[in-house]
Amino acid sequence: MVRRIRVLDDSTVRKIAAGEAVESPASVVKELLENSLDARAKNIAVRLDGGGIGRIMVSDDGCGMSREDAEVAFLRHSTSKLSSIEDLSTIGTLGFRGEALASISAISSVEMVTRERGSVESGGTRIILSFGRIAVLEEVGCPEGTTITVSDLFANVPARKKFLKSVQTERSRCMDVVSRAMLSRPDVGFRAYVDDQLRFESPPCTDLRDRAAAVLGPKVARALLELPDRSYGSVRVTGLISLPWESRSTSAGITVSVRGRVVRNRNIVDALRRGYGSRLMKGRYPLVVMDLVPPSECLDVNVHPAKELVKFSEERAVLLAVETAVSDIVFSRKAAFPKQEGTVEEGAADRIERPPPPPAMVKVISSGPGQSELPVALREMERTRSEFDEVPSMEGPESLPPALPEDASAHPLRIIGQLDRSYILCELGSDLLMVDQHAAHERVRLEELKKRYITGKVSTQELLDPVHIELDQTSIDNLGVMGSALKELGFLFEDFGPSSIVVRGLPRFMGRMEGHEVIRDLLSGVEVHEGCSPPDPSFMPELPLKEKIIALTACRGAIKAHHGLSLREMEDLIRTLLECEVPLHCAHGRPTMIRLPQSILERWFRRVL
């Protein structure tokens, strides 16, 4: 008989194992950074050459290693961080498996120079390994800490090397790891060089915003909202999040760490987006730097080869904490009207409950009759000045300030007219303000309906002529989902045979017509109107059903695009819009108004350079 099963030789086993933790230069960077952080380094320097495929060097001023430790550090399952499985539940370090150095050294050339902190011996240790074999082990003079240099990555595993992407791609993956580490550990100083050029430099920071400025750029960092440092249930949440309109098309701007460990978790990303609710446009992602501290016994870090995924025993509590932390701040007036620099002062959350400040007055000068005063809370709607001074890209309004200038109350607001019977153009001081009439009216109606719903409680107005609605299969299914929410809102209806209902009453806060149109639309899943999402289950999934119904009603009865408006109507609309709690976005998160500052116009026309 032929034996087909063999025990693999050591070097093959090591190469296979290496594949689990080390799949690209970025994973080497990640493991080395984690080791430096675990060594309680105060400062870390990273050098990348040739996208990390050429060379990766990570240098720290951490605890270093004795000669004995340096020798065994590269063996598999050699770790100073864990001695038994029980320790795993309380593990405070990023590493614990003792595999990274073994794996990395199996598939590359490694040089390590290390000296134990506070050691009495005069020198340190230099060790060179070539594809897992120690080639040099000697004493050297060196500072305390550890420097590890990795080159010839995957040179002995051609199959894996083939899978490497371009130098550029690998480089940006490496830099992504570095930036996330920097954002998750602001207390540690970092320097990062790419092909000898300094890319990031940041001393240890006490303020996360300073670190964000170093990594994301000062302008972006200034505009982030700070979460108040507090716990939601047993989960502490800290961090910085972007204003809803500073969103991105991917989730790449989201860095979430759990106790300083950068993690990937789709559910957390979803919870973040739920926190923004209707204020985040569909399909967009916020910019987030967030650290979560759940009770340590609720955390399992040993579920992923690269330790990027973690498991929470109480995941719901963690997700709810994330969602609440975000929505508390996003739905505060602070977020609707960011202060200069976009910062939120400490204790901002405490003020959320307070009534809004009295509105400022803006004078409307109209060319027609019926001049009116615009009471608005505009003064707070200010944005970083420097943002205004830039020529925006022509891609979209995201780069334009959606708000109004800090001294808006000093500027007269004059309606110029209607564009394409869809947009209202206004002169605000010397800026151009463009208002989407449908989005604006939808917002106005949403707030009106909500107010009526809240104050009027739920009362039903019975119809003199009950309305019959025939149901197809979709409607029957939808009725199953929405039936009770509709009833709670004050809709009164009953089954009428197997496939129809009869509507006998409508919520008092809705108009008579729109009420039964809304119920029909909701049940049939019909797209209500261009520019609005269809009321299918994915329709504003973040909103509770009742709010969805109110939002749909708001949209249903709102002035459409391509609808002529009189000057008076435009004035009324803008006045009520500016009185809204959240005037800048419609229920779907689309902007209601966009301002084109004069400074940008002047640049576009090359009046100033």
Ligand X SMILES: Nc1ncnc2c1ncn2[C@@H]1O[C@H](COP(=O)(O)OP(=O)(O)O)[C@@H](O)[C@H]1O
Residues 87-106 that bind ligand X (CB under 6 A): 95-102
Residue nearer to ligand X on the CB measure, 146 or 179: 146
Residue 597, C-beta contacts closer than 8 angstroms, at least 6 positions apart:
388, 400, 401, 405, 431
Angle between helices 512-524 and 545-556 (to 10 degrees): 120
Partner from Mg ion, ligand X, none binding residue 243, C-beta < 5-8 Å depending on class: none
Helix (H) or strand (E) holding 151: strand 145-151
CB 310 to ligand X: min, Å: 15
Pick from 179, 290, 180, 181: nearest CA to 239: 290
Residue nearer to Mg ion on the CB measure, 100 or 254: 100
Secondary structure string (H, E, C) spanning 25-61:
HHHHHHHHHHHHHHCCCCEEEEEEEHHHCCEEEEEEC
Number of Cβ within 10 Å of residue 90's Cβ equals: 9
Alpha carbon distance 436, 232 (integer Å): 38
Q: Give CA torsion, residues 533, 338, 409, 411, to 10 deg.
A: -70
The site string for ligand X over 144-183 (x = CB under 6 A, - otherwise) reads --x-------------------------------------
Residues 69-128 that bind Mg ion (CB under 5 A): 95, 100
Alpha carbon distance 244, 278 (integer Å): 9
Residues 10-39 that bind Mg ion (CB under 5 A): 35
Partner from Mg ion, ligand X, none binding residue 63, C-beta < 5-8 Å depending on class: ligand X
Partner from ligand X, Mg ion, none binding residue 596, C-beta < 5-8 Å depending on class: none
Residue nearer to ligand X on the CB measure, 35 or 576: 35
Residues 478-537 that bind ligand X (CB under 6 A): none
Q: Are 522 and 533 spatial neighbours (Cβ–Cβ below 8 Å)?
A: no
Alpha carbon distance 318, 270 (integer Å): 12
Segment interacting with ligand X, rule: CB under 6 A, options 28-36, 232-240, 290-298, 601-609 = 28-36
Q: Are 295 and 605 spatial neighbours (Cβ–Cβ below 8 Å)?
A: no
Residue nearer to Mg ion on the CB measure, 82 or 502: 82
Residue nearer to Mg ion on the CB measure, 35 or 147: 35
Alpha carbon distance 509, 507 (integer Å): 5
Residue nearer to ligand X on the CB measure, 125 or 327: 125
Strands 288-293 and 254-258: parallel
Pick from 585, 579, 574: nearest CA to 551: 585
Partner from Mg ion, ligand X, none binding residue 528, C-beta < 5-8 Å depending on class: none
Strands 373-376 and 360-363: antiparallel
CB 12 to Mg ion: min, Å: 23
Residue nearer to Mg ion on the CB measure, 32 or 586: 32
Binding of ligand X by 46 (CB under 6 A) = no
Residue nearer to ligand X on the CB measure, 102 or 288: 102
- Output the residue with the shortest Cβ distance to ligand X: 95
Partner from Mg ion, ligand X, none binding residue 97, C-beta < 5-8 Å depending on class: ligand X
Cα-Cα-Cα-Cα dihedral sign, residues 527, 528, 529, 534:
negative
Q: What are the strands of the beta sheet with 413-419, ordered from one edge?
A: 413-419, 423-428, 431-436, 593-596
CB 72 to ligand X: min, Å: 8
Residues 537-566 that bind ligand X (CB under 6 A): none
Partner from Mg ion, ligand X, none binding residue 438, C-beta < 5-8 Å depending on class: none
CB 75 to ligand X: min, Å: 9
Q: How many residues interact with ligand X (rule CB under 6 A)?
A: 24
Segment interacting with ligand X, rule: CB under 6 A, options 8-16, 30-38, 134-142, 200-208 = 30-38
The site string for ligand X over 52-91 (x = CB under 6 A, - otherwise) reads --------x-xxxx-------x----xxxx----------
Partner from Mg ion, ligand X, none binding residue 335, C-beta < 5-8 Å depending on class: none
Alpha carbon distance 444, 334 (integer Å): 20
Alpha carbon distance 233, 323 (integer Å): 12
Residue nearer to Mg ion on the CB measure, 28 or 235: 28
Place of tokens 């249903």: 556
CB 449 to Mg ion: min, Å: 56
Residues in contact with ligand X by CB under 6 A are: 31, 35-36, 38-39, 60, 62-65, 73, 78-81, 95-102, 146
Residues in contact with Mg ion by CB under 5 A are: 35, 95, 100
